[in-house]
Amino acid sequence: MVDSLPLKNGIGSAGASSLDEVLRAVFGFGSFRANQEEVCRAVVGGADTLLVMPTGSGKSLCYQLPALAVGGTALVVSPLIALMEDQAAKLRELGLSVARIHSGLDRAVSRQACVDYLAGSLQFLFIAPERLRVPGFPELLAKRKPTLIAIDEAHCISQWGHDFRPDYRMLGQYLPALRPAPVIALTATATPTVQRDIVAQLGMVEAQKFIHGFRRENLAIEVAEVPMSMRGEMVCDLLTPAEMRPAIVYAPSRKRAEELALRLREVCSAAAYHAGMAAEMRDEVHREFQAGRLECVVATIAFGMGIDKADVRTVVHVALPATLEGYYQEIGRAGRDGQPSRAILMHSYADQRQHEFFLTRDYPPAESLERVYKALTTEAQPIAEIRARLKMDEEDFARAMEKLYIHGGAEVDFGDNARRGGDGWKKPYARQTNYRREQIALVQRYVDGHECRMAALVLHFGDVEDGRVRCGICDFCKPTSTLATPMRPMTRNEERVLRSVLDTLRNSTGKSLGRLANEVDGGLSRKELDIYLSALARAGLVVVEDAEWIKDGETILYRKASLAAEGERLGPGDELEILMPQSGPGAGSVSGSTTKSGGRKSPIGGNAAKHAKSAPSKVERKTTRPVELSEAGRELEQALKEWRSGVAKRLQIPAFLILHDRTLRAIAEAAPKNLSALGAIAGMGPSKTDKYGEEILTVSRGRSE
Ligand code: ADP
Ligand code: MG
């Protein structure tokens, strides 16, 4: 199979040994890492390939080596300029012939790249996806076909991917003209839904899927229900023993990160890290942590990108993460050195409420979009005027506009003039909203879990085979060694309920959790049932799994519980030995008082319920009044707007997606002189500061001098 491809100027014959040879001779690596060889073989054999492996596992080699083996030019599509530059530089260092084309380069460089490509002298050509929209460029590529097409960070193609990029989505339509080269799509984060979308969007033929490497053997995962008010104290307790550090604590907001860091300083050296801090301070925290002088960082999600600290012992989440993919990335920062490490997640019912609040904020009801849609006409009008007419809050309006734009309900030009688009936006928007809702539900299901935590994550990423293996060290597999959820033997009362659950399941093929909760003697809340089922599943008596039910042509997913073989065998007189969480449901009802560690009678009572009610209203929501700008400020604002339209034109995206008017105004007011001052402005954040910071400062300095 390997020899069936014509080898133009490939290195040697691509037989079994030659892949090894190229690995050593060109890349200087002694051996393949796990799965690399298998993938390289498939690609060299001409198969369309989808590769899903975690960050740092060595995916690039899986297109680079086959590219050299088959010869000719590999076309590499990459969504981030920095990534592209980095990879191109590395390949060039290896003595390979590489060119790249993206918006950050001189025209002459791009032109030369095209000439070299057509002459066939390139081994790799890197392009940004938006290049394909430049008239004539796809045709140019098609004149001399690539021998391999690699799509890096392929999750960006999928509308389900969190970094959904319209430019990437159009990629599929250009590929047929570049065939018959095989297509290899690479990503570190693709759930089965996203995987299916990538394959369909790229028109991949009988794609071979390689989904590997998500299991982390040395990471003991624990998920604990802890009321919000107790989490700070618990984090301090957890991180007091020196062997639990270095540690990263993920907090849900800047404010919480600051508070927790302050508190943790009583235990160890600790600092906050979030997007609202000046860039220099963030860099310093990063450096100090990396160097081992700082033992604990309390971060919002911005921390960890690009951090490569091997000996992080503990990662704590003090709130429910928004997606399982994000959670997995974050806990993956513990124990890169292979030594035993811990990931502890704290959550409660209040977290769920908070996520619901964010969901309705980020995905406003279709009626809000409809209102904006109706205000659009076939004639383009400035979006600022539309907003003024609708008297909508700037943020609400921008959000509605953005959604309409993404889903085709509005056409917006680089000058932020909008006109009415097609009326088909409602369905895709509803689908996207549901997807987000489903993501939250998946996190919730994970924390309510009735199975090995690591297995659940591995399964989530689509590795069905490896997903059957229990890790043996998480709170489910080894409840006796948890830190945040102390276990105790069941009480009498709990035993009665546990037996009733088993009886209700006996002689059935399984029951939905809703039905089971009703049928158990005396009835149970879903939350209580979850705790009892977890205990029974841990003891190997019950299995809880996903099941499907088809209604009106739609597949409805639900959770189903049934007796495991061990549970079937258990007779009424046999002894039960089951561990319950310290704060389990039966504890309060027996003693009549709350336990020390739980501090609540029912999981949604007490503190948790109090927070559930107040949390959403407490979420920072600034409706800033427009600032009165000075003369100079107004001039700067105008200059910034002009700069922004230039960028919009260059990147071919609407200006409001680059920076909101309000952010521009805030910059004009502060007239920042350096990157750290700029980064501290609301609406900037690290990624925007990285991308546009220097340019904005140039505009700002040009005004004030
Ligand atoms: P990914 O794209 O999966 O995040 P990369 O392809 O960037 O990961 O690879 C991560 C690092 O691993 C790179 O520094 C790369 O040089 C190195 N690497 C890849 N394959 C091997 C190998 N077989 N032996 C040693 N190092 C490797
Ligand atoms: Mg990569």
d(CA 627, CA 632): 13
Q: What is the pTM of this model?
A: 0.73
Residue 186 main-chain phi, psi, to 5 deg: -120, 135
Q: Which atom of ligand 1 is nearest to the CA of 33?
A: 23
- Same topology, domains 365-433 and 487-602? Answer is yes
Containing H/E element for 331? helix 324-331
CA atoms within 13 A on the CB side of 687: 10
Query: Which H helix or E strand runs over 285?
Result: helix 279-291
- What gap in Å lies between CA 163 and CA 132, rounded to an integer? 19
Q: By CB neighbour count within 10 A (0-12 exposed, 13-18 middle, 19+ buried), where does 687 fall? A: exposed
Which pLDDT score, from 0 to 100, does residue 591 have? 36
Q: How far is the centre of ligand 2, averaged over its atoms, from the C-alpha of 59 (Å)?
A: 6
Domain 16-211 fold = Rossmann fold (3.40.50)
Kindly report the average pLDDT of the chain as a whole number.
85
pLDDT tens per residue across span 260-286: 999 999 999 999 998 788 878 888 998
Q: Which fold has domain 219-355+440-479?
A: Rossmann fold (3.40.50)
What is the CATH T-level fold of the domain 631-704, as seen in this structure?
DNA polymerase; domain 1 (1.10.150)
Instruction: Give CA separation, 335 vs 221, 295, 304, 324, 677, in Å.
Output: 12, 15, 13, 19, 35
Name the residue type at position 685: G
CB 116 within 8 A of CB 123: no
Closest CA to 153 of 196, 110, 184, 123: 184
Q: Name which residue sits closest to atom 16 of ligand 1, judged by CA.
A: 58
Class of CATH domain 365-433: mainly alpha
Report the distance separating Cα 90 and Cα 103, nearest Å.
20
Digit-coded pLDDT (tens) for 514-549: 999 999 988 899 888 988 998 898 888 999 887 877
Find out whether 121 and 97 touch, Cβ atoms under 8 Å: yes
Instruction: List phi, psi (to 5°) of 253.
Output: -150, 165
* Smallest CA separation from ligand 1 atom 2, residue: 59
E strand map for 290-447: 296-299, 314-317, 341-347, 381-382, 410-412, 417-420
Q: How far apart are CA 180 and CA 109, in angstroms?
A: 28
C-alpha of residue 62 to centroid of ligand 1, in Å:
9
In the sheet with 74-77, reading across from the earlier edge strand, the strands are 98-101, 124-127, 74-77, 148-151, 183-187, 49-52, 208-211
Tell me if the bond preceding 246 is cis, omega within 30° of 0. yes
Show the tokens assigned to 369: 């979009």
Ligand 1: atom nearest CA of 23 is 23
Q: Are 297 and 287 in contact (CB under 8 A)?
A: no
- Ligand 1: residue of 20, 24, 33 to mutate (most ligand atoms within 8 A of CB) is 33
What per-residue confidence (pLDDT) applies to 598?
Answer: 36
Closest ligand 1 atom to Cα of 60: 6
Q: Calculate how far, in angstroms, residue 155's C-alpha sits from the geometric centre of ligand 2.
A: 12
- What's the start-to-end Cα distance of the chain, in Å? 67
pLDDT of residue 609: 33
CB atoms within 10 A of CB 355: 21
Which residues touch 126 (CB under 8 Å, ≥6 apart)? 76, 77, 78, 84, 87, 88, 98, 99, 100, 101, 102
Give the orientation angle of helix 366-375 with respect to helix 383-390, to 10 degrees.
120
Residue nearest ligand 1's atom 24 by CA: 29
Angle of helix 349-362 relative to helix 606-618, nearest 10 degrees, comes to 20
Q: Write out residues in the chain with pLDDT < 50, as ranges.
A: 1-16, 588-625
Q: What is the DSSP letter of 490?
A: P
For residue 271, give the H/E element and its range.
strand 270-273
8-state DSSP, 10: -
Q: Give the position of tokens 């920062």.
A: 333
Class assignment of domain 487-602? mainly alpha
C-beta separation of 76 from 152 below 8 A: yes
Pocket test for ligand 1, best of 19, 29, 40, 152 (most atoms within 8 A of CB): 29
Ligand 1 pocket test, pick from 57, 91, 124, 210 with the greatest ligand atom count within 8 Å of Cβ, gives 57
pLDDT attached to residue 165 = 64
Give the integer Cα–Cα distance in Å for 461 and 467.
9
Spell out the domain ranges in the chain: 16-211, 219-355+440-479, 365-433, 487-602, 631-704
Q: How far is CA 187 from the centre of its chain?
A: 12
Structure tokens at 387: 């907003």
CA neighbor of 225 nearest in space, from 450, 456, 484, 487? 484
Ligand 1 site: residues with CB under 6 angstroms? 29, 32-33, 36, 53, 55-61
